[in-house]
Amino acid sequence: MKAFVPELDLHKYTVDDALPKVDQFLYEAYTARQRSVRIIHGKGSGTLQRAVRSSLARHHLVKSLRWGEQDEGGAGVTVVYLAD
């Protein structure tokens, strides 16, 4: 079995392709008992960033989220804390 990597890079995806990947990633993170994960959406035009953060804010497995710190990728990354 492959070890779970607590980071999802969405740089090359459209919103329609990215959101199902986020959902699957959160489920896998939760079942792997991760407390937090990083989602890399980049800055770009902000479309993917806004869609991902909006989806995360409503997701039942998400306890809270925050922007990445400067050394974590800043506004191009969202750090997600998973529900207990």
pLDDT computed for residue 1 by the predictor: 64
Q: Which residues of the chain have pLDDT under 50?
A: none
What range does the domain containing 67 cover?
10-82
- Given the structure tokens 């792997």, which residue do they identify? 32
Number of domains in the chain: 1
Domain contains 2: no
pLDDT computed for residue 79 by the predictor: 98
The first and second tokens of residue 52, run together, are 């991902």
Query: In CATH, what number is assigned to the domain containing residue 31?
Result: 3.30.1370.110
Domain contains 3: no
Domain contains 74: yes
35 close to 43: Cβ distance less than 8 angstroms: no
Domain contains 78: yes
